[in-house]
Amino acid sequence: MYSWLSLYWLSELFSTAPYNIDPSIIEDPTKLFSKAMEAMEEKEAEKAMQEGEDYLHSVMETAMDEFRKFEDEMERMLMAENSLQKKAKRMGNSMEKAANFASKKSAMEGPSFRSNAHP
């Protein structure tokens, strides 16, 4: 690439010199230089695009990791809440059975129990 730059610089130098130089001699190196510059710019653009894609991929991976962590944490919280609900339901069922048992026992003892309680 630097050889093309030096060739271009020399061609520009000679084109401004007071010599009679045929412009067609300079035309070919100038075209080659232009093509080389376009290719270099294209490579730089491709490199910039690749860097952008890599950065976007990295950001997306980080976001997905965070989402997975959030999802796992929500699942753990849901399981803990579900477990707590099951325990509360069992306790409620036990209390209901105890209340039914106490109610039946009190009904079996009959009115004598109540009459003794209130003179």
What's the pLDDT score for residue 82?
94
What pLDDT digit, counting tens, does each position of 52-75 carry?
999 999 999 999 999 999 999 999
Q: State the sign of the Cα–Cα–Cα–Cα dihedral 111, 112, 113, 116.
A: positive
What pLDDT digit, counting tens, does each position of 74-115 carry?
999 999 999 999 999 999 999 999 988 888 887 777 665 555
Q: Distance between terminal CA atoms of the chain? A: 117
Structure tokens at 95: 């209390």
For residue 87, what are the CA distances in angstroms to 19, 58, 73, 75, 101? 102, 44, 21, 18, 21
Question: The pTM is what?
Answer: 0.47
